[in-house]
Copies of this chain bind each other. A is one copy, B any other.
Amino acid sequence: MIKLVIDMEGSDFGNKETTKACLEFVKDYKDVKLILVGKTSEFKDEFVNYSDNIEFVDAQEIVPMEVSPLKLLRNTESSMVKGLNKVKQDDLDGFVTAGSSGGFITGSTLILNRMKNIQRAAFCAPFVTKIKDKQTVILDIGASNENTPEELVGFALMGSAYAKTVLNIENPSVYLLSNGSEKGKGLKNIVEAYDLLENEKAINFKGNCEAREALDGTHDVIVTPGFEGNIFLKATEGASKMMNDLIKESFKRSLFSKIGYLFARKSFKVMKDTLNYKKTGGAILLGIKKVCVKAHGNSDSYAFYHAIRVAYLMAKNNIVEKIEEMFDEHDGER
């Protein structure tokens, strides 16, 4: 039985969409127990038929979006902190939230702790690409600001393990995000990480990748320091949103364009499906002793369902053990 703690609050929609998602999930997966943390009186009744798969923990408070580590840890009545403590105390498999990213990263690291041998946890997002259903794993996208070359090697190992375990890619290709594809391009830590990765037998290292090509669907894992990963993530989101808004405006502009939309609608749905990031299930904190998944703050039940699904797959496939094994091998090599 996979046991996951779910933070029911902290999403932009309160516990409405998270409740729907959890209900769907326990209908679809029988070997799972979800421990729901939040304002339980508001959603308890929905789960009467699933008492074998559901447990409740009451928590009345919600961690604010911007929160300092100290304030977070003091907020012991919040659904996030109560949830993380529950995972730790009962030695459960993982934690899923749509709440504050900062709170999630700090809380997971401080309460659940890093795996042995891991210097830094990485915030890792599977990105949708130009190719339908092909995801590219990019890490770190903002758990750190700066990272040492050794930390970048750690990210490569963890990203590789994730791509193998959850995305079922046999020998995932690993790239470094840089400002040129040639060896020697980029910041000092990236140039040094290149040298280390070339000699890392556990990894199928392919060299540098430029931001322009990152989402063309030909890369499995892309490694970057956190600050640059965050710029990449948000630049991509911003440009995609701009294009999306302009497409909508274009179809709405005139009577003719509206008619055009009626004809092209079905075809544009394929594009929408290709770019449907909701299926990726949000971002993952890799390097922590338990599975930790962060859904988008504005997740609807579909997106949140997929966040739970990612956590379930990670736990089911023993990703924590797999990463530990990779690091053991890596250290053995030295």
Contact = CB atoms under 8 A, between A and B. Distances in A.
Shortest 9 CB-CB distances between A and B: which pairs? A260-B264, A260-B263, A257-B267, A211-B234, A239-B239, A235-B235, A243-B243, A253-B267, A212-B234
Given A211-B234, A247-B271, A256-B267, A227 B179 contact: yes
Interface stretch (A15-23, A73-81, A213-221, A324-332): A213-221
A214 B259 CA distance: 33
Given A187-B145, A215-B238, A235-B236, A263 B271 contact: no
A214 B235 contact: yes
A169 interface: no
Contact of A239 (B210, B243, B245, B250): B243
A251 B265 CA distance: 9
A195 interface: no
A332 to B, nearest CB: 34
B240 A243 contact: yes
A186 interface: yes
Contact of A212 (B211, B228, B238, B262): B238
Nearest to A245: B130
A254 interface: yes
Given A182-B66, A235-B235, A271 B242 contact: no
A177 interface: yes
A261 interface: yes
Q: Kindly report how many copies of this chain are found in the complex they form together.
A: 2
Nearest to A255: B263
Q: Name which of A66, A214, A235, A245 has the most chain B CB atoms within 10 A of its CB.
A: A235
Q: SS class of chain A's interface: helix, strand, loop or mixed?
A: helix
A120 to B, nearest CB: 16
A113 interface: no
B257 A271 contact: no
Contact of A267 (B146, B213, B250): B250
A145 B179 contact: yes
A40 interface: no
Contact of A214 (B216, B238, B243, B264): B238
Contacts of A264: 250-251, 256-257, 260-261, 264
27 contacts: A66-B182, A177-B231, A179-B230, A211-B230, A211-B233, A211-B235, A213-B238, A215-B242, A228-B228, A232-B235, A236-B236, A236-B239, A239-B240, A240-B243, A247-B247, A247-B271, A250-B264, A250-B267, A250-B268, A256-B263, A256-B264, A257-B264, A257-B266, A260-B261, A260-B265, A260-B267, A261-B264
